[in-house]
Chains A and B, each alone.
Chain A
Amino acid sequence: MRSEPSETYQGRFYDGESAVAHDVVVRCSTTVVVVSAGSDVLATWNYPDLLSPDPLVAGRRARLTHNTAPYARLVVEDPAFSECILDRAPHLSSRAHRRRGLKIVLACMLMAFATVGAGYAFLTFAPSTFAKLMPDSWRHNLGEQVKQILVRGKQVCTDDEGVAALAAMAARLSEKEDNPSQFKIYVYDLSIVNAFALPGGSIVISRQLVEAASGADGVAGVLAHEMGHVIERDSEAQLVRSLGISLLQQVLFGGSTIGDSFGGIAGVLTLMQYTRDAERRADGHAVRILEASGVSPNGLISFFEYIQDKYGSKSEDDEKSDVFSLFSSHPGVKERIGKLKQLETWSATPALTETQWTALKSICASAPDTDKETEGGSPPDEA
């Protein structure tokens, strides 16, 4: 129903001061909207400051307010009125509303990018800084806690001669290092082939890893690698990082279900990326330590080859990410064997004597034999 184009319209006006509805005559002049009841002018609104809570659609009811009176409401049912207003205040149209909506979306995307970028940068650079600043007592406490979770209920191996052999190996490897006393090495019966560097300098080697190694040089190679992690404070950094990721997730996504899955994926990807870098550094340390202590890298090579034979490509593809198993996302075994084989050889003697090696292999002799059968289950996290 289009009425004759008219300058005045009937409307309903709430002044924002009281709940009374005023029946008003509204004039849509060229520069202002004049709202009057009888001889009283209730409002004179210029067009640029006019606001519409909902987009103004030509031919629909108009509901307007104004910057100078944000609680006042003018409602005009006459469809011609909205057209008159739209001509003079195009910023109220649906198109203008959509444009503002798009700006909001773009701003949100920008903020999302910025957050992710800042988070990424923070997670890249901050954890190792924090890790190195961390007081020794914190590192020690952290390490004890992680160890308790890791070896939950498992036995530490305490055969005297084996412990002595392990100590001898550790002493030989760490002799030329800055702070040899920081390395505290344990063998646990963990039912997986793995070794872990823990915050505070503890290193846990599984009995199964000792058994899987073809000789003392293999164990020494793994130990040297873990020492590299300790020197780099990698496990401390890893924990700081995972703390940061969960904080970021909490802040960014809160309790929303959409966010949880996204945050989860992002978190795991970040963790894997970082550990790979750390692994390469730790390998570098391992080579340096082996060379300095005159231990051949061949033991480590044959240990890797054993792993590769036994678990094939799995150890390269199935890279599970786990905060505590720092061995889990090493660079592919093949790549590492290649790198080790390219090394120039140095004069080397066996890491342990035959007697010591035999003693090390039976370091768990006094511990009860639990769960020796590990094949067929999930592949070990590799070493």
Chain B
Amino acid sequence: MVVQFGLMACSATDEKRGRDAEEPRQTLAERTVNRGQYRERNCHVMSATEQFEHSPPPRPGGQISLNYTARPGLGGLSIKNFLLSVITLGIYSFWGKTNVRRHIWSCVHVMDEPLEYTGTGKELFLGFLIVTGIIIVPLFLIQALAPFIFFENIAAQVVAQILAFVVVLYLIGVGIYRARRYRLSRTLWRGIRGTLTGSSWSFAWTNFWMTFLLPLSFLWSYPWMRMRLTSRMTNDMEFGSAPFGFSGPVGPLYSRFAIIWISSLVLMILLPFALWISGLSFDPKSMIDGGDGPITPDQTTLVAFFIGLTLLIIPAFVLLFAVLRAFYVAGEMNHFAQCTTFENVRFEMRATSWSLIGLAIGNFLILIFTLGIGAPFVQQRLVRYFCNRMTPVGSLDVASIQQSQAEVDRRGEGLAEVFDIDAF
């Protein structure tokens, strides 16, 4: 059966899907030819009668591509999740989160084949319950009870609190690693799942002592720590039987880091000055109680201080710090992409400071104006930013990728959930 229709192969971003039904059917041969031959943002009409007459050409290592194609339905999903979470006292949120992931994953296309998220709400819920039972409740009790068990014994109290802090800090590392492992194991592309092959405890240990190094080095160990941890994580990552690789010098991160470190220091010295000046320039009398009644000089300074603080200086400085941070993060993202390899594929990232700031401000406004209900759109924007600016370069021999043999976690992300590690 040969179908003689042209094929619209259009992979421009944000194309609205959901009209699959109206699209002419495509034959396998068309698909074969189409795959890999046309890069992003090109629409071609082609006829494919001839190709089908022959047996399909052998699939070469296809040119790899990555793009995000938004689909409608995320708004409805957001509202539904919010309402159902409210009436179930938050319990539904695990299923809601899963549905959002399914939606967003399915918008990500690698070589025109969508990703599929195969996790379930039940897995997240059970993971959360178990972690709550064996970690959160005991930790809570230790912290809550310590003050009156060891009332006079300040040393014992301090030890108990430090112990709880250390345990939490350590577990955060475990949580980061396991959440990543869970998500990879629930991400399917062409029927193949991902995995992390290393030990979460050993990753957590590295994360743990490196975190302690941060204050000791006045944060100068930060780029090195990020490099080491990302290297660890990425080198542990596999898709099916094929490992990711990560290697590169840490040097390039330090030029940007030095700039933001010094600028931040300057800003922090300037901040008290700015607050002091704002404190002098405000007239608070007109702003309290209609100006009636005597106000002591103490109050005057105090009120002026806080008005100046909240209205002007603090947001300005927050913005400046955000700009510095975006400058570093952009550099880091681009460098990390360069260091990453997957089979014959390397990666190029085009993150810029201003686009990151725009992304962050947009996300902030979405969360503010939707009272957090629009959080799925924030996730979509993050993933889309990543997909749009990340270009995988090279060709992938898909035939060489076999299914992952790693064991699959049965429950997910309890630790990440209770420690609120990230938005997903």
Contacts and interface: CB of A to CB of B under 8 A. Distances in A.
A39 interface: no
A256 B32 CA distance: 47
A104 B91 CA distance: 10
Contacts of B26: 77
Nearest to A24: B28
A374 interface: no
Interface stretch (B174-182, B186-194, B263-271, B383-391): B186-194
A198 B137 CA distance: 26
B88 interface: yes
A256 B90 contact: yes
Contacts of A142: 148
B151 A18 contact: no
Contacts of A23: 28, 32, 56
B372 A257 contact: yes
B121 interface: yes
A48 interface: no
B403 interface: yes
Interface stretch (B227-235, B344-352, B394-402): B394-402
A15 interface: yes
B140 interface: yes
A145 B147 contact: yes
A250 interface: yes
Contacts of A21: 59, 190, 398
Interface residues of B, number: 60
B314 to A, nearest CB: 22
B82 interface: yes
A6 B192 CA distance: 31
Nearest to B399: A20
Interface in A118-174: 137-138, 140-142, 144-145
Contacts of B193: 71
Contacts of A256: 85, 90, 93
A263 to B, nearest CB: 9
Interface stretch (B17-25, B207-215, B252-260, B354-362): B17-25
B90 A253 contact: yes
A121 B86 CA distance: 22
Contacts of A255: 420
A53 interface: yes
B87 interface: yes
A116 interface: yes
Contacts of A53: 102, 116, 118
Interface string B395-413: 0001101110000000000
A251 B92 contact: no
A259 B85 CA distance: 9
Interface in A78-108: 78-79, 104-105, 108
Contact of B420 (A109, A141, A254): A254
Contacts, number: 146
Contact of B21 (A14, A79, A108): A79
B367 to A, nearest CB: 10
Contact of B89 (A15, A250, A259): A259
Interface in B39-94: 56, 59, 82, 84-93
B342 interface: no
A348 interface: no
B95 to A, nearest CB: 6
A111 interface: yes
Interface string B1-35: 10101000000000000001100111110011000
B90 A1 contact: no
A72 B191 CA distance: 5
A360 B351 CA distance: 75
B148 A141 contact: yes
B417 interface: yes
Contact of B92 (A1, A108, A252): A108
A73 interface: yes
A145 B418 CA distance: 29
A312 interface: no
B144 interface: yes
Nearest to B113: A21
Nearest to B62: A21
A21 B112 CA distance: 13
B240 interface: yes
B379 interface: no
A257 B144 CA distance: 23
Contacts of B91: 108, 111-112, 115
Interface in B359-376: 371-372
B243 to A, nearest CB: 14
Given A14-B191, A104-B121, A243-B144, A251 B417 contact: no
Nearest to A109: B88
Q: Point out which of A21, A116, A247 has the most chain B C-beta atoms below 10 A from its C-beta.
A: A21
Contact of A15 (B191, B371, B420): B191
B142 interface: no
A247 B140 contact: yes
B247 interface: no
A343 interface: no
A94 B114 CA distance: 21
A18 B402 contact: yes
Interface in A40-85: 53-54, 57, 59-61, 70-73, 77-79
B25 A77 contact: yes
Contacts of B28: 10, 12, 23
Interface in A317-351: none
A306 interface: no
A145 B146 CA distance: 12
A78 B24 CA distance: 9
Contacts of A10: 1, 27-28
Contacts of B92: 104-105, 108
Contact of B1 (A6, A17, A141, A259): A6
Contacts of B141: 247
Nearest to B95: A104
Contacts of B32: 23
B93 A19 contact: no
A258 to B, nearest CB: 6
A257 B85 CA distance: 11
Contacts of B372: 257-258
B88 A105 contact: yes
Given A104-B95, A259-B89, A19 B399 contact: yes
A311 interface: no
Contacts of A15: 191
Listed from nearest, the 7 A-B pairs whose CB atoms lie closest are A141-B151, A14-B191, A108-B88, A19-B401, A112-B89, A141-B148, A23-B28
Interface of A: 1, 3, 6, 10, 12, 14-21, 23, 53-54, 57, 59-61, 70-73, 77-79, 104-105, 108-109, 111-112, 115-116, 137-138, 140-142, 144-145, 243, 247, 250-259, 262
7 contacts: A19-B191, A21-B190, A54-B106, A109-B87, A243-B144, A259-B89, A262-B86
